[in-house]
Every structure is written in structure tokens, then in C-alpha cells.
Structure 1
Amino acid sequence: MKILFVGDVVGNIGIKSLETYLPQIKQVVKPQLTIVNGENAVNGKGINLEAYQKIQVAGADVVSGGNHSWDRKEGIDLYNDSKKNILRPYNFPGDNVPGKGMIKINVNQKKVYVINMQGTAMMAPLDNPFHTFDKLLPTLEKDAIKFVDFHAETTSEKIATGMYLTGKVSAVVGTHTHVQTNDAHVFNKETAYLSDVGMTGSYDGILGVTKGQIITRFLTQRPTKHEVDEDGRMQISFCVVDINDQTNNARSIKNYVINPDNKKFLE
């Protein structure tokens, strides 16, 4: 099975980039499942029904989230809609957390779990993801593919998670930092891993935000307002994971970026 995973969609330009490039990418890759991280889809923070629908129409089967999942009040109803394939991090503490952090879907009669988990290093103090995985994974069907979107800040926590879950899940792909890393590989011929898949949005901003504001912050050391760079040129970051349906082990993982300086994937 081929799973296509697209990194953090930032703002309207991120949705436009997705609408422009995702159909073309899918024609080349021909994935059986497409997952898109959409937690930054509305003005860089949060998601609403309109943005979710646009991401879905563009070609996403599942939309995952992260630390900005709750930044929009209208998003609560979206997460609570059982008919929507949208996730927030599984390890938010408490018993009555809106929405779901995992979804089980059938793809050509093969069961696939998509799990959204958030790290805690330099992040909000959610439930320990390692302990949460220990409790969650034994409850899932063994003969199923398990794909993890690990939304975290530090590469050390991401790599540790990938190694810890080797042989337990099919893939661990990081999100959140918006910069694609160059470490895609398969641990022990079992679990595909990538520290960060990157972002989808402005190629000319800084992590999707207007560059002048960020540069000013570093020059003055004073807080500045973050605004999505909606006038920049488009880019999309993604990876393709190939998984053996019989063993649920990953065969390969390859990462790609399409931007004005690199369109080789579509040539």
C-alpha cells in the first residue's frame, strides 16, 4: 500500500497550493490513502469546516492536527462530527476531550489506523506520548497498518519515538516544524521514519509567516504579530510511504518538495 502524507497546510495559500499540486501528485503516486495535516489551515492557527472541506475536495482522505487544533472555537463542532475524518492529538489529557486522536479505515479490505500524537519536549504538557502508545497499541488489531503523525518540536523526541515504535507501527512521520528534514529511512526494515515532512504554503515566508515580521522580532527581541504570507509563491511538502500489506512493514519512504525552484517531481 502506498500512503501519501502532506505536511502542514498553512493559511489560504496552503489550501491553494494543495488544490493546485495534490491532484497532480496523486496522478503520479497513485496512493491508496492520502493524509494531510491541516492544523494551520485558517490564518495559520486552527481549522474550520470550510477549510476541512477544501482539503478533502483537494484529495485528502484523512486530515490530522496538532497543537493549534483548538485555536478556533468553530473547530470544536468539526472535531466532534463522527462523520468527519479529522484528528487532533490523541494524548490530550482528560476523559471528555472533543474529537478523536485515531481513526480506523478500510482501504481495499485492508485495515489502517491513522494515529495523531503530540510530543511534549518544548510543547504543552500533554500526556506522555510514550506511555500513551504503550496503552494504545495493544488494543489495536495486530493485522493492520498503523501510521503515526507525530506532531512535535524537537528532533530528539521524534527520533526517539521512531526508534521506540520500530516494529510496533508501520510509519512515524513528524510534523510541526514546517521544515522538511533529509532523514527519511526505514528502521530495521520495519518502520518508515521522517523527522519532519515540511509545510504546504508560502515559499517566500518564514515557516509560512510574513518574513518581515519574523526578522523584526529577531532584530528587536520584541514580540510581533504573526501573519500568514498569503502573497508568496506556492510550495507543497510531502512523503510517500510504501507498506507491505502482508507484513505491515514499510518497504520504503521518500520525501519530496515542489516549489518554484524545484518542480522535478512533476516533470
Structure 2
Amino acid sequence: MRVVFIGDIVGNVGRDTVRRLIPWINDKYHPHIIIANGENAAGGRGITASITRELFECGVHGITMGNHTWDNREIFEFIDDEPRMIRPSNLAPGTPGRGSMIIKANGKSLGVVNLIGRTFLPPAEDPFRTADEEIEQLRRTTKCILVDFHAEATSEKVAIGWHLDGYASLLVGTHTHVQTNDARILPEGTAYVTDAGMTGPRDGVLGMEKEAVVRRFLTGLPARFTVAEGKWALNGVYAELDESTGKAQKVQLISVDEDSWIAT
């Protein structure tokens, strides 16, 4: 099974980039399933029903979220009814939505788990034990499991990678918006990347307009952050998974921007 994961989509630049590059992704990687993190898709904070439909219509099969899941209150109106979108599974019991899903497309089935870290982020349940429980349930349907671990600390991401080695097929870190150069297959067969990176404005600060962010660092005063404009970048991960074992056979980074992309 061939899987593409698109790193955190930020604002209208990120959405336009996904729409523009999905045909290129399909031609280059021939993925059976495309998953994207969409927690920053609506102006950098949260997601809306129309944006969700837009991403599905352009070729994304499933959407994961993160710490900005609830920033746009419209999500409460549709998250319970959208089986192709998940929020972090280790949020408090009773939280709307679901934390895992089975995505079926092009004759393939992929289990997807969304988790959030506990280091430098708001309180949440234990992501390690939650991952164990979710993967155990999903493996009753498919051996191929993708985990989106939305976390701040690289140490926490690396640790959960080792914890899930041999159980998850592909573990991608999200949230920090900077792609890490450590894609590899761990000894027991789990493909791992500390952070998949970001899809959105290339020349901002993590997708936000750079002047406001720099001013905040210089003065310590509050500043309104807005999504940057300008040239785009798309970061993500491509993986090939063995459906009979659930183990990864190949993993590589996807990193392209407006200056390096060559349309095919």
C-alpha cells in the first residue's frame, strides 16, 4: 500500500497548495490513500465544514487534527458526523469526535490514529497507552496503521516511535511545522519521522506573518498573528506498507516549494 501524509495545512495558501499539487502527488507517488493534518486550515486556527469538503473534493481521503481542533467553533456542528476526520484520541472522555478511523480507498484499508503530546501542551490523557488501545482495535480490521502524533517535544515523539515500533506501520510527528531530516524504518518495521513539516506560506514563521512574530519576540507584547502570504511550500511523507504484515517497506520525505516544483 502506498500512503502519502501531508504536513499541517496552514490557511488559504496551504489549501491552495494542496489543491494545486494533489495531481502532481498522484502522478509522482501513485498513492492509494492520502492523509493530511488540517488543524490550521482555517486561517491558521481550526477547520470549517466547507474547508473539510474542499480537501476531500481535491483528493485527500482523511484528515487529522491537533491542539487547534476547537479553535473554530463550527467544528462542533459536524465532527461527530464526519467519519473521515479525527481529533486527538487522548483528549478527555466525552470529547466530541473520534480519535481513530479506518480509511478505505482504491481497494485499500488504512487505520489512522491521532494523538497529542503532553509536554509543553495542555493536559491530556497518556498518549502511549491510548495508542496501544487504539492500535489494538484497528488491527482487527487492517494491519496497516498510520499514527499522527501531534506534539511539541522531539523527545516525546522519538520515545513514542520506539514504543510503537512493530505495532504502527507509519508514525509521523506534526505540530512544530518544521520538517525533520530523520525519516527511517525502525528495527521492527515502523516507518518514523519526527515531524512531517508544514504545507503553506514558505516565508512566514511557521506559516504566520513574520513581522508580527518577530515584533512579539523583540518586545514581549501581544501581537495578532495572521497567516502569511507569498510563496508556498508543501512538506509531507511518502511510505510503502506491506499489507500482509503491516510493516513499512519504504519511507521518504516530500519537500517541495514554489521555486523547486516542476509541474508534470
Do they fold alike, i.e. is TM over 0.5?
Answer: yes
**1:35 corresponding residue in structure 2:** 35
**1:114 corresponding residue in structure 2:** 112
Could you tell me how far 1:107 is from its partner in structure 2? 4.3
Question: Does the 8 Å CA contact 2:113/2:134 hold for their aligned counterparts?
Answer: no
CA distance in structure 1 between the partners assigned to 2:53 and 2:4 by the alignment: 18
CA RMSD of aligned residues (A): 1.5
Q: Which amino acid aligns with 1:28?
A: K
Distance change in 2, residues 1:261/1:109 (3 Å): closer
CA distance in structure 1 between the partners assigned to 2:137 and 2:188 by the alignment: 24
Q: Which amino acid aligns with 1:223?
A: P
**2:164 corresponding residue in structure 1:** 165
**2:246 corresponding residue in structure 1:** 248
CA distance in structure 1 between the partners assigned to 2:136 and 2:62 by the alignment: 23
Where in structure 2 are the equivalents of 1:71-150 lying within 5 Å? 71-82=71-82, 84-94=83-93, 96-107=94-105, 109-142=107-140, 143-150=142-149
Could you tell me how far 1:217 is from its partner in structure 2? 1.0
CA distance in structure 1 between the partners assigned to 2:106 and 2:16 by the alignment: 29
Question: Does the 8 Å CA contact 2:79/2:96 hold for their aligned counterparts?
Answer: yes
Structure 2 residue runs of 5 or longer lacking an equivalent are none
Q: Which amino acid aligns with 1:187?
A: L
CA distance in structure 1 between the partners assigned to 2:213 and 2:138 by the alignment: 43
Identity of aligned residues (%): 37
Q: Which amino acid aligns with 2:42?
A: V
TM-score under structure 2 length normalisation: 0.95
Q: Over residues 116-153 of structure 1, what are the superposed CA-to-partner deviations in whole Å (9 max), with x where a residue is unaligned?
A: 11111111111010121233333333552111011000
The secondary structure found in structure 2 opposite 1:219 is helix
CA distance in structure 1 between the partners assigned to 2:133 and 2:60 by the alignment: 29
Question: Does the 8 Å CA contact 1:45/1:68 hold for their aligned counterparts?
Answer: yes
Distance change in 2, residues 1:110/1:257 (3 Å): closer
CA distance in structure 2 between the partners assigned to 1:110 and 1:206 by the alignment: 37
CA distance in structure 2 between the partners assigned to 1:27 and 1:40 by the alignment: 26
Question: Does the 8 Å CA contact 2:15/2:200 hold for their aligned counterparts?
Answer: yes
Could you tell me how far 1:108 is from its partner in structure 2? 5.1
CA distance in structure 2 between the partners assigned to 1:119 and 1:41 by the alignment: 20
Could you tell me how far 1:110 is from its partner in structure 2? 4.3
**1:180 corresponding residue in structure 2:** 179
**1:153 corresponding residue in structure 2:** 152
CA distance in structure 2 between the partners assigned to 1:200 and 1:22 by the alignment: 12
Q: Which amino acid aligns with 1:190?
A: G
Q: Which amino acid aligns with 1:120?
A: R
CA distance in structure 1 between the partners assigned to 2:97 and 2:250 by the alignment: 31
Q: Over residues 33-70 of structure 1, what are the superposed CA-to-partner deviations in whole Å (9 max), with x where a residue is unaligned?
A: 00011100111000001111111122100011000001
CA distance in structure 2 between the partners assigned to 1:134 and 1:70 by the alignment: 25
Distance change in 2, residues 1:106/1:256 (3 Å): closer
1:10 aligned to 2:10? yes
CA distance in structure 2 between the partners assigned to 1:177 and 1:52 by the alignment: 22
Could you tell me how far 1:166 is from its partner in structure 2? 0.2
The secondary structure found in structure 2 opposite 1:117 is strand
TM-score under structure 1 length normalisation: 0.94
CA distance in structure 2 between the partners assigned to 1:105 and 1:20 by the alignment: 23
Q: Which amino acid aligns with 2:166?
A: G
Could you tell me how far 1:111 is from its partner in structure 2? 3.3
Q: Over residues 77-128 of structure 1, what are the superposed CA-to-partner deviations in whole Å (9 max), with x where a residue is unaligned?
A: 221114x41111111112x221111101334554321111111111111101
Question: Does the 8 Å CA contact 2:102/2:138 hold for their aligned counterparts?
Answer: no
Structure 1 residue runs of 5 or longer lacking an equivalent are none
Distance change in 2, residues 1:134/1:189 (3 Å): closer
CA distance in structure 1 between the partners assigned to 2:102 and 2:258 by the alignment: 36
CA distance in structure 2 between the partners assigned to 1:59 and 1:138 by the alignment: 28
